[in-house]
Structure 1
Amino acid sequence: MVRWITITVLSVVLIGVGIWGYQEHQDKNAVLVHAENGYQRAFHDLTYRIDLLNDKISTVMATNTPERLSPQMADIWKITSEAHSDVGMLPLSLLPFNKTQEFLSNIGEYSYRVAVRQLDDDPLEQKELDYLAELYEQSNEVKRDLRKVQHEVLNEGLRWMDVEIALATNEPGDNTVIDGFQTVETNAESYVEAGSQFGLTATAEDEKDIQLEGDPITEEEASQFIRKHFDLEESLELNVSESMDGSDLPVYYFSFENDTHRGYAEITKQSGHVVSFILNRDFQEREISLHEGMNRAAEQLKDLGYENMEPTESMQYEKVGVYTFVRTEDDVFYQPDRIQIKVALDNGEITALSARDYLVNHYSRSDVDYEQNITEQEAMELVNPQLEVGESKLAVIKNDLGDEVLTYEFIGQANDSTYKVYINADDGFEEGVERLKNSERIFESS
């Protein structure tokens, strides 16, 4: 009798363990599938938008009236901005792609300047029409190259997760995607050089010169830094590779995996700054609050050497808290110098961090004397009167042209929604309005 009871109990336990293991496996696969779907969506959106960009430019070339030209150029600016965002979502951190991004930025800046220009008084010159013709041919080549990569991806069933691994480990294999993007990047370099002759684009002079402070670190020093600050065991094997020549931010790239964890990290070769960190693991029931997670994130940033960081947003996704911090100096919030960090709410562990925006913007900024010719009260009078303002502060942001400007940031309520409004502190121009997501925000303490 006892024997049968024991067998029954063991059977139930084994079945339970099997179900639990299957569920854990399913959850892990779900994370990987979600990441892969995000990469695929970004790539196919990018390909579609380059197609659309090429069509829009051809339409502009056939347009002859300012009333039609301005909205068409505004559309081109919007498309290039979205395409630029798509590129940023692809796993290409180890593959230099800055010339392609510069090419898109150049088109966006040029189209924006034309869109807001008084074309009745200042029509397009012949050299600008020539430049449009060049843009059409160049975008057509990019479209063709991306279509070729897309055909291979769809025809061969290639996965972007494999591309990420191939870049990180330099493993041999089918590198169709990598080769295709390198072709796009090589061609884009010539496009940027060709555009500069018209004096209409952001040339190499406008590229960010990132000057990290401190001494170079070795691969071993970077490895120990990762283990120490993210609590990785010495027994955990770290696979390491380096960014390719030409990268704007040279890094060591680490990847690791065991039975319960899988992750990646990027550390700059100069000074050893953490650029990004991702840890994929299963989450247990929530044990700490979103606010406690924010405190844990702030401690980690300080521990990593990121000083004077203030939280500006927080959101909770089930068992994870996601926070945005920006650098402050003399009571001014520098929005471009931002770091996003993700904290597991089961034990307060850091599961993701992205500091690239901070490093690229903070260490490439020259000393700037921002103009402040209007008062906060004068700026508030320029805000829509329907907005019930709750708080305000000075903030440096990037405007639509990518230039940094000093603004008054007002946060308020209207129509059951929360908005941020940015008023230029120099001339009172409304630089932007942002509707906040319906999530928990962090208010300044009084």
Structure 2
Amino acid sequence: MDKVKSFTGDVKGKLDALSQAGITWGGQLAKGLDRLKYGLHVEFSDETFFDVLGEGKNKAQQVHSPVPITFEGRQDHEYIIHSTGRRGGFAFHLSRADVHIFVSVREDYMSTPNIWVDIGSMSCWSPGYQAVIEHVNDLVFLFGGKIRKVGLSEVHLCVDCIGLEIEELGLHDYSRWITRANKFRSFADRVKFTGVGLDQSEGPLGISDSPYDQVGYASETGLSVGEGDIALRVYDKTHELRSHGAKQSVFASVWGQDQYNDVPVTRVEFQLRRPVLRQLGVSDLYNLQEKIGGIWEYCSDNWARFSAVAIDRKNRHQDRAVIHPWWQVIQSVDWLSYRPVVRKQPLPQKDQHQLIDMMVGCALNIAAIDRCKPTIDHITTHLQAVIDTWCRIKSHETDKRGQSVLIAKYNQKVLECWPHGFGEVHGPQSAYLIGGQS
């Protein structure tokens, strides 16, 4: 990610206004999808796919634990299959990193999706939601499936303000928000303000003059989507990552930093579910990309705005409110100019430092139980012997599938840590500087 070189006059004026308000920020942003849920209506010519899934699920049920499964002997189609499915008629559950695929054997696939896909935050950024979609499609095609329809269920759009401290903005003051939301929440960790949440569960959306322009008018099928069909979260992203070690290296890479907490990061995230997406004319994955700019414009200009000063709600002239210069920057984000960024360094999906701390903590307990002499040589020699003995015993044991317990456990951990393979790179993603610089 390059440093700021220059800005257009309009954006530079907004940053100058921020500086005059005592808020120092260079205008560095990263934008992207942070979660995506969709359903596939797939026609399969035979039962082969379901037979393979059934065999895998039986193995998982035998050992009472998720197990690896490889489709057609292809390493690029290695997943974890779970012993249970999910409500709504989805008998099978596959996962890979934070991508979850639920499969149903229902015959009426045209009325209700028979494959449900949930792409989590990490996979949306790395390897990218588009790459995941292509990979899921490839799995369907591998078994002769034909995708007849695609339904979009939920989208999270986010912009990360890199180097911006959330506490400087005054977001906790509800009197400065102009929004259609009927619920407002403020979050804090002890004395530190960490973010706000706005939800709309009733009332007009303001998309059109239609009498159907209401939250919840469109019917939802499949999985429950929870409270509020449109929501805004503005929060301290680095604070949120403190308890998610596996995500830290990914977002440090996205933000162009060595460590995830090198600089403060304030995230603006809009969450939209199927009823609202349909009102906006976004019904599938194919028109999501072409309408993503319009979605952001509606969310940041029509549905929620943050003003520079408190709003006089009695006079009902909220359209005359002076919008906070930072929010004007958020409104100006260009979603049509994605720039793929390739991260050359492969990154695992688990935090090695955190695992080492956990391992050493457990190992020292073993050393204490066995009354080791309190010297580094005695402790390390004893623990090496304990680990060696355990590994050798497990290497000779076999599980219910006839595999070495040690090797089976290792292969599963490899798949969990490197779900996209050892050659995984981080991208595509969109990281840019406002004002046209990237």
Q: Normalised by the size of structure 2, how large is the TM-score? A: 0.22
Alignment TM-score, normalising by the size of structure 1: 0.22
Structure with higher helix content: 1
Point out which structure has higher relative CO (alpha carbons under 8 A, 6+ apart).
2
